[in-house]
């Protein structure tokens, strides 16, 4: 393992129908099982897939901004991470679609930047080989 630069810590109780709270109290959320998984999907509550998609989208956009700066490209971007839970032969798994919009570069440059960001994003690296990630790139 490498040298930890930052460690986030959260505690969950009650599983998918419970509660999650970060060690500093910034996140303090009730969880609700989505309808697609047989739950009630209660208003004002979240679920692990939403939390993962939010973290992945933010991390990937940050990685994208970093590789764009390194390439001396002035861009703005947005990343939407669509995280799905799927039934597998043995249990469940995740799949991800990253929908990326980049302003200020050509379509080809946008695709190259997204590929580079995918190589350095900690979330992408963490799930590599375990989770299918589809990338949809649109230069605007």
**Amino acid 93: pLDDT:** 93
Q: Tell me: domain 48-139, CATH 3.40.605.10, correct?
A: no
User: What would the DSSP string read from start to end of 81-123?
Assistant: EEEEEEEETTEEEEEEEEEEEEESS-HHHHHHHHHHHHHH-HH
Segment 67-126, tens digit of pLDDT:
999 999 999 999 999 999 999 888 999 999 999 999 999 999 999 999 999 999 999 999
Question: In the chain, what are the domain boundaries?
Answer: 1-46, 48-139
Please report the pLDDT score of residue 1 as a whole number.
74
Band the pLDDT of 2: cuts 50, 70, 90: confident
Same fold, 1-46 and 48-139: no
64-73 burial: b if 16+ Cβ within 10 Å, else e? bbebbeeeeb
Find the angle CA(33)-CA(48)-CA(53) to the nearest 5 degrees: 125
- The answer on pLDDT for 28 being more than 80 is yes
**Cβ count within 10 A of residue 137:** 19
Architecture of the domain made up of 1-46? Single Sheet (2.20)
């Amino acid at each position: 393992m490498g040298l930890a630069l930052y460690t986030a810590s959260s505690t969950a109780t009650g599983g998918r129908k419970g509660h999650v709270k970060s060690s500093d109290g910034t996140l303090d959320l009730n969880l609700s099982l989505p309808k697609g998984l047989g739950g009630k999907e209660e208003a004002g509550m979240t679920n692990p897939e939403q939390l993962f998609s939010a973290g992945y989208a933010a991390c990937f956009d940050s990685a994208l901004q970093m590789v764009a700066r390194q390439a001396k490209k002035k861009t703005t971007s947005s990343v939407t991470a669509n995280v799905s839970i799927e039934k597998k032969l043995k249990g469940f798994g995740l799949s991800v679609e990253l929908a990326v919009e980049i302003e200020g570069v050509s379509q080809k440059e946008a695709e190259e930047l997204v590929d580079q960001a995918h190589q350095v994003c900690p979330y992408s690296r963490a799930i590599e080989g375990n989770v299918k990630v589809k990338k949809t790139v649109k230069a605007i």
